[in-house]
Amino acid sequence: MEKILGTDIVTQIGLIVRDIETTAKDYAEFLGQPVPPINPTGTYDKALTQYYGKPTEARAKLAFFHVNQNLDIELIEPDEKDSIWREFLEKRGEGVQHIAFNIRGMKETTAKLVDAGFPLTQKAEYVGGRYAYFNTFDKLKVDIELLENDSDL
Amino acid sequence: MEKILGTDIVTQIGLIVRDIETTAKDYAEFLGQPVPPINPTGTYDKALTQYYGKPTEARAKLAFFHVNQNLDIELIEPDEKDSIWREFLEKRGEGVQHIAFNIRGMKETTAKLVDAGFPLTQKAEYVGGRYAYFNTFDKLKVDIELLENDSDL
């Protein structure tokens, strides 16, 4: 059967949180792991973040916990500016916002998903790669994120 | 660091859905996997389901997609009776309800979690094992499920 993403391996569970310092500490304690570094996403000049096709200066603070082979829990604390993260927080409150897949060929895969009826909601660059979020909620009951890392290419 | 569960490996992402036949088909198409079997949870005489410490005849239909080593996406369609699944659907609508961990020593681990301030919300037996849900939402922004399989003991 054709895999629209070229993969069916889930590599991230992404949660939107209001206070990443507190939640990262609570996860660390619960999982029995060290508190991970908490880092902001890049500024617009580096990230070139697009939200519904328009530039946004929105940023988020991120923290990662490794919870299985090739699987991370990602905590995301959005700032106040317009983003898919802020939108989720305002609509649904804290909770799981996305599952992610590592893919190759962001441009081609994005075109396939859009053709299949899944709108691109946000995309940006990060050091060593790029991400894109798609609204898959109606069908999958969670949004998806694609990650393309240059080291995988 | 002490792992309260004895593990930090996430083995399930559990989603509550309204129409499991449709959503299972949509996931199968999206992932490029066959449509999995959809099976009901056991009747009360076998499952002995307890919701907040009281027997409930609530059941759910379940379907599983394998999406990484030791990681499944679980779709759950609750029936109308009182359950943690129905509670989630009514409070938050469709979406990711839990992440699960496979543990050994359900009784001891349950006691540890309750002591740590995470209430046991629902538990039951299934063929070959047992599960328990805990309200971890305040701290982890998602509930957790423990799974104990007799084959792992």
Partners of B20 on chain A (C-beta within 8 Å) are none
Look at residue A120 in the predicted model and tell me its pLDDT: 98
What is chain A's mean pLDDT, rounded?
A: 97
**Any chain A CB within 8 A of the CB of B153?**
no
pTM above 0.95, yes or no: yes
Q: How confident is the model at residue A1 (pLDDT cuts 50, 70, 90)?
A: confident
Closest by alpha carbon to B69, among B25, B26, B102, B21? B102
Write out chain B's pLDDT in tens, 153 residues: 789 999 999 999 999 999 999 999 999 999 999 999 999 999 999 999 999 999 999 999 999 999 999 999 999 999 999 999 999 999 999 999 999 999 999 999 999 999 999 999 999 999 999 999 999 999 999 999 999 999 987
- Mean pLDDT of the A107-125 span: 97
CB contact under 8 A, B139 and A26: yes
Q: Report residue A153's pLDDT band, with 50, 70 and 90 as the boundaries.
A: confident
Tell me whether B35 touches chain A (CB under 8 Å): no
- Closest-CA distance, B72 to chain A, in angstroms, reads 9
Side chain identity at B43, as an amino acid letter? T
Chain B residue numbers with beta carbons less than 8 Å from the beta carbon of A68 are 9-11, 68-71
With 80 as the cut, is the pLDDT of residue A93 above it? yes
Among B1, B5, B31, B94, the residue to mutate for chain A (most A Cβ within 10 A)? B31
pLDDT of residue A59: 98
How many angstroms away from the CA of A127 is the closest CA of chain B?
25
In B48-114, the DSSP E strands lie at 50-51, 54-55, 60-68, 71-78, 95-102
Contact A95 B67 (CB under 8 A): no
pLDDT in tens, A41-91: 999 999 999 999 999 999 999 999 999 999 999 999 999 999 999 999 999
* pLDDT, position B153: 74
Say what percent of chain A tops pLDDT 90: 97
- Verify whether the Cβ–Cβ distance A1 to B33 is below 8 Å: yes
Task: Give the number of C-alpha atoms closer than 13 A to the C-alpha of residue B153, restricted to the C-beta side.
Answer: 10
> Cβ contact (<8 Å) for A13 and B10?
yes
**Shortest CA gap A125–chain B (Å):** 25
**Burial grade of B153 (CB within 10 A; 0-12, 13-18, 19 or more):** exposed
Nearby residues of A41 by Cβ (< 8 Å), 6 or more positions away: A47, A49, A59, A60, A61, A62, A124, A126
Q: What is the DSSP letter of A103?
A: -
